[in-house]
Each structure stands twice: as C-alpha cells, then as structure tokens.
Amino acid sequence: MKILICGLGLIGGSFARALKYYADAEAGGCEHEVHGYDPDIESVRKAMLVGACDNAWDTLPTLDDYDVILLAAYPRASVRFLDEHASEIKKGAFVFDLGGIKRTVCEAGFAAADAYGFTFIGGHPMAGTQFSGFTASRESLFQNASMILVPPVEIDVAELDFAVRFFKSVGFSAVNVTTAENHDQIIAYTSQLAHVLSNAYVKSPTAKRHRGYSAGSFRDLTRVAHLNARMWTELFTDNADALIPEIEQLANSLMEYAAALKNRDEETLCRLLAEGSAINDDIKS
C-alpha cells in the first residue's frame, strides 16, 4: 500500500516509524511504501536518515498515486490542504486527518470527499507527549492507545473496517467511532482543559521556589504546561464554544474551595474533597 504522510512532527513521524516498523517486525505484516511531506527540510532529512520514510520531500508530491493520505498537521492547515488539493487525490483513496479537533476539518473533508470520490475519515490518536517535532517521534507511541475515528454517516461498512484494521496495525488497541460534535465536546475536558490548567498553574510566583519541595503531584500537574503555543492556540480557539464552559466550571469549583477556606468551614471543605475523591474513584472504576 502506498501511503503519504503530510506533516512529519511527533504524530506524523511516529506514524511513519510505526508503519515501517510493524510491517517489518510482525509476522505476515503488510509491506507499505511510506512517503513523507513536510515544509521543514530538517524534518524530512531526519525521517530519511532513520528510515521512517522510503522517500520524503519538503514540497508536496503528486497526490494521485496514493492509497492512503494522513494529514498530520494543524487543523487549519489540513482544511487548506483539502481546499487546495482535494481534486488531485485518487478516487477510492482514504484520507485521514489526525488533528486535535474534528468539526471544522470533518466539514471540509466530507464535502471534498463527496465532490472528488475519495473517503475522508476524521481521526485523533489518543497518544502523545509534551514534546513536539520529528525528534520526539517513536514507533511505539500508539502502542495500546485509543484511536478515535469520525466517519461520514453514510460510510460503507467495509471502508470503516479497513480504517479500524489500518490503525490497529500500528499498535492501537481500541478504536472508538463517534461524531465530530461529541469528540470536540469531550476533548475540551479530557485534553484541552488539562493543558489550560497546567499552563496556568505554573504561573504562580511560588513555582520558581519548588525545588526541594515538590514531588509526584507537582510533576503530574505540570507535565503538559510545556506545549506548542501556536498549535494549542489554534486548537483552543477553534473549539472555544466547548472549552469555555469547562474552564468556567473549573473556576467555579475552585472558588468553592477558596470560599470554604476563607470561612474556615472545615465541614464544607471536607465534603468538597470527599466528593472529588469519590467522583475520581467512580470514573476510573
């Protein structure tokens, strides 16, 4: 199968590595011809140096020969790609976007697929690190992770089955199928709010004095404070209608704790803490 990965950062680079690694390592694995595109020539050179791609370029190749195209780019860049190049994609090909929000990209992707005869499915790998770029990529990134797919409502069962098998072939242990609206609403809480909280948490002046006074809880809460500001600005802004209520809900909850402390109301504080602990146990059971 001939595959093009557009974007050779953490996610795209990890897909390239995984597609080559599992094809070579697994008994009966399918041999893929993996090509890469990234406007950053250093990412292209690194991908070629480690053998993640059979070929890679810093200019977009001709698209009409690829069976699968993975868009591992910022959502707005993926929309631009579809607007400008959908007519060049081979009929019957599969196009997956791998970005962090789905409504805007899926709207463009479904329309382009209908117009030009390919299959578009939105995707979001539930895997990553606080680091970015090809250097941070690895073939094991998706091992035992969950993959979210957002197909068009009229998708053929065989096409969806192909998508599920394709992503499981690079290590995903579960594939969840949902709508773009449901994805963006839940991701606002499970991913985006966590990044906002972590990034805001380290802005306390006390953070500079943490050494020797911090352990696991500090490490856990600050892990994703280091982020790609440009990318996350785009993700937050394009999902603002889902993210803002989550931020406001969190702020209101924090103020309940602050009010209990100001009033030295131990009964209320204990109740709030017990409620949070019980909810955590419930959602993880």
Which domains does the chain carry? 2-178 (3.40.50.720), 183-284 (1.10.3660.10)
Please name which of 171, 66, 73, 77 lies closest in space to residue 127, comparing C-alpha atoms.
Answer: 171
Tens of pLDDT, residue by residue over 2-33, are: 999 999 999 999 999 999 888 655 434 457 89
Banded model confidence at residue 129, pLDDT cuts 50, 70, 90: confident
Structure token pair of residue 115: 């117009």
Tens of pLDDT, residue by residue over 173-210, are: 999 999 999 999 999 999 999 999 999 999 999 999 99
**What percent helix, strand, coil does the chain show, rounded to 5?**
55, 15, 35
**Cα 103 from Cα 152, distance rounded (Å):** 12
pTM of the model: 0.91
Please name which of 24, 163, 43 lies closest in space to residue 5, comparing C-alpha atoms.
Answer: 43
Instruction: Answer for the pair 119, 110: CB distance below 8 angstroms, yes or no.
Output: no
Q: Please tell me the predicted confidence (pLDDT) of residue 166.
A: 95
Average pLDDT, the chain: 95
Q: Please tell me the predicted confidence (pLDDT) of residue 30.
A: 55
Q: Please tell me the predicted confidence (pLDDT) of residue 24.
A: 55
Q: Please tell me the predicted confidence (pLDDT) of residue 113.
A: 98
Q: Please tell me the predicted confidence (pLDDT) of residue 27.
A: 38
Q: Please tell me the predicted confidence (pLDDT) of residue 130.
A: 74
Tens of pLDDT, residue by residue over 214-235, are: 999 999 999 999 999 999 999 9
What is the DSSP annotation of 156-189?
A: -HHHHHHHHHHHHTTT-SEEEE--HHHHHHHHII
Q: Please tell me the predicted confidence (pLDDT) of residue 132.
A: 85
Structure token pair of residue 93: 């090909």
Q: For 18-27, 47-56, 189-198, 252-261, which range has the lowest pLDDT when averaged over its residues?
A: 18-27
Q: Please tell me the predicted confidence (pLDDT) of residue 28.
A: 44
Please name which of 28, 130, 121 lies closest in space to residue 78, comparing C-alpha atoms.
Answer: 121
Tally the residues of the chain.
Answer: 285
Q: Please tell me the predicted confidence (pLDDT) of residue 39.
A: 97
Please name which of 205, 204, 120, 115 lies closest in space to residue 159, comparing C-alpha atoms.
Answer: 120
Please name which of 189, 167, 56 lies closest in space to residue 122, comparing C-alpha atoms.
Answer: 167
**Diameter of the chain measured on Cα atoms:** 69
